[in-house]
Amino acid sequence: MNLQNPVSEQTLKNSLGDAFGRLTVWMNDPSVEQDGKSEVQRMIDSTNVEELRDRFWRELEFGTGGLRGVVGAGSNRMNGPVIRKATQGFANYILKQGKTEALRGVAVAYDSRLSSRYFAEQAASVLAANGIPVYLFDEIQTTPCLSFTVRHLGCIGGLCITASHNPPQYNGYKVYWADGAQITPPHDKLILSEVFAVTEYKQARVMTFSEAVKAGLVKKVPAETVDAYFAKVRALQLEPSLNKNLKIVYTPLHGTGAEPARRALNDWGYSHLHIVPEQAEPDGRFPTVKKPNPEEPDALKLAISQAAQQNADVVLATDPDSDRLALVVKDPQAAQGSFKSQAHGDYVFLNGNQTGALMIDYILSTRKRLGTLRPEHKIIKTIVTSDLHARICRQYGVEILDTLTGFKWIAGIVNDWERKNLSDKKYLFGTEESFGYMPGDYVRDKDGIGALCQAVEMSAAFKEHGITHCGKLLSLFETHGAWQEDLITVDLEGEEGARRIGRIMNQMREKPLQNFAGTPVAKILDYQLQVQRKISGTAFDAGEPLAGLPKSDVIQLELEDGSKISMRPSGTEPKIKFYISVCTPSQQGASESAYKKSVERIVLFRKAIEAYVSSIN
CB neighbour burial string for 177-214, b if at least 16 within 10 angstroms, e if fewer: bbbbbbbbeebbeebbebbeebeebeebbbbebeebbe
Distance between CA 607 and CA 541 in Å, rounded? 28
Distance between CA 322 and CA 318 in Å, rounded? 5
Distance between CA 482 and CA 157 in Å, rounded? 43
Listed residue (355, 360, 365) closest to 436, CA to CA: 355
Could you tell me if 250 and 328 are in contact, meaning their C-beta atoms sit under 8 angstroms apart? no
Q: Which are the contacts of 315, defined by CB distance < 8 A and separation ≥ 6?
A: 248, 249, 250, 251, 300, 303, 304, 307, 326, 327, 328, 329, 347
Distance between CA 275 and CA 253 in Å, rounded? 10
Distances (CA, A) of 301 to 243, 259, 262, 296, 560: 28, 21, 21, 10, 39
β-pairing, 515-516 vs 519-526, is antiparallel
Could you tell me if 439 and 135 are in contact, meaning their C-beta atoms sit under 8 angstroms apart? no
Distance between CA 106 and CA 136 in Å, rounded? 8
Find the angle CA(413)-CA(382)-CA(519) to the nearest 5 degrees.
Answer: 150
Q: 115, 164, 338, 386: which is the annotated catalytic residue? A: 164
Question: Is 164 annotated as catalytic?
Answer: yes
β-pairing, 157-161 vs 170-177, is antiparallel
Amino acid at residue number 392: I
Length of the chain: 617
DSSP assignment string, 572-590: SSSEEEEEEEEEE---TT-
β-pairing, 399-403 vs 377-382, is parallel
> Which residues are identified as catalytic?
164
